[in-house]
Structure formats: structure tokens, C-alpha cells
Amino acid sequence: MRIVNATIYSWQGLRAAYAHEEAFRQEIWACLLLVPLGLYLGDGGVEKALLVGSAILLPLVEILNSAIEATVDRIGGERHELSGRAKDMGSAAVALAILLLAVTWALILFF
């Protein structure tokens, strides 16, 4: 029963992210393009895994960033240094995921 509940909660989380987070929607649509493209362009299992994995990592990190932002916003609306730092760090994680995706794809496809 725990696995069933975990699956339901995960699905609810994906639906909530898609409904409320524009960046997540954009990244999901990019994944729908990049995952099949990565499977096609990758030469062997390792390259395919790197291309597909780096594409899937981006919306994964976006969900974590959105969870951080929602938690901080829920705790309080006043400006606080730690709240700002938490949000900035979540945003930095997304930026690093984008960089990882770009570097991975560039190195595999162009070098």
C-alpha cells in the first residue's frame, strides 16, 4: 500500500508542478523533444544515458527548486536573508542543471 500511496503522491506532485510552474512546463516540453533526440543521436548506451539523463535532470531540479520556494513562501511573506538565500540557491541549482545539460550535449555532439 505504501508504494501505491507514494505513486499517487508523486503523480500529484508532477501535476501540481505542471499546473503552477511555467518553467517546469517548458522543461517538460523540452524533454519530450530531447529524450527521443538523445536516444537517436547517442552513440552507444553511455552517450544515450548522458544525453537523456541530463535532459531529465533539469525538470527534476526545477521541482526541487519549486518545492523550496513554496516552503519558504508558506513559512512567511516577510523578507528574510535566509529565505532569500534558500531561493537563490534553488535557482542556482537550476542554472547548474542547465549548464550540465548544455555542456553534456555539446561535448557529445560536437567533439
CB 51 within 8 A of CB 100: no
Count of domains observed in the chain? 1
What is the DSSP code string of 29-83?
A: HHHHHHHHHHHHH-SSHHHHHHHHHHHHHHHHHHHHHHHHHHHHHHH-SS--HHH
% residues pLDDT > 90 (the chain) = 96
Task: Tell me the mean pLDDT in the region 17-39.
Answer: 98
Segment 44-64, tens digit of pLDDT: 999 999 999 999 999 999 999
* C-alpha pair distances (Å), 56 with each of 27, 36, 49, 68, 91: 9, 12, 10, 19, 17
Task: Tell me the mean pLDDT in the region 86-94.
Answer: 98
Catalytic residue annotation: 62
Residue 64: give the domain boundaries: 2-110
As given in the structure block, the three cell numbers for residue 46 are: 553511455
Please state the φ and ψ torsions of residue 56, each to the nearest 5 degrees. Answer: -75, -30
Model-level pTM? 0.92
CB 39 within 8 A of CB 22: no
105 Cβ contact partners less than 8 Å away, ≥ 6 residues apart: 38, 51, 54
The CATH code of the domain that includes 11 is 1.10.287.3610
